[in-house]
Amino acid sequence: MNDTNQDEKFMQAAITQAYIAEENGDVPIGAVIVKDNQIIGKGYNQREQLQDPTAHAEIIALTAASAAVQSWRLHDCTIYVTLEPCTMCAGALVLARIDRLVYGCDDKKTGAVKSLYNIPTDERLNHIVEVTPDVLANDCSKILSDFFAKRRKENKNDQ
């Protein structure tokens, strides 16, 4: 299986996590962390569920992966996330020493990988994360746009 197929396979797993977030009333963003072609950590947005501003998919997945390998250093790991990470999550990826980030769609409002900032590839930091954007971008974008369209409709009906 080539890298593109692998990336799409694991991005599909992240998309599955995004749907779990949506089922729980959260913005549908999902993440998985892979080491040696095995998922070692999964996460989905749980900010509403936990009432925790740091409960982003990436943070939940990092915590799970760190527990799986019993180390905060996630060398030789790739994270797949459906949306370009924010500043908090991009910083956490650098601090966790993740080797590679693969994400779905850009986040023009808060993206800290390409859209607003370039945290994972900033050479002033002590670790550089390899970045692969736009994997299943249309699928990832559609999940979010459908979610927010549904929310707007619900809010309109509540008035």
Give catalytic residues, as residue numbers. 58
CA dist 147 to 5, 14, 44, 89, 156, Å?
Answer: 27, 16, 15, 22, 14
Nearest to 101 by CA among 88, 119, 120, 116: 120
- For residues 22 and 92, give the distance between their C-alpha atoms in angstroms, rounded to a whole number: 23
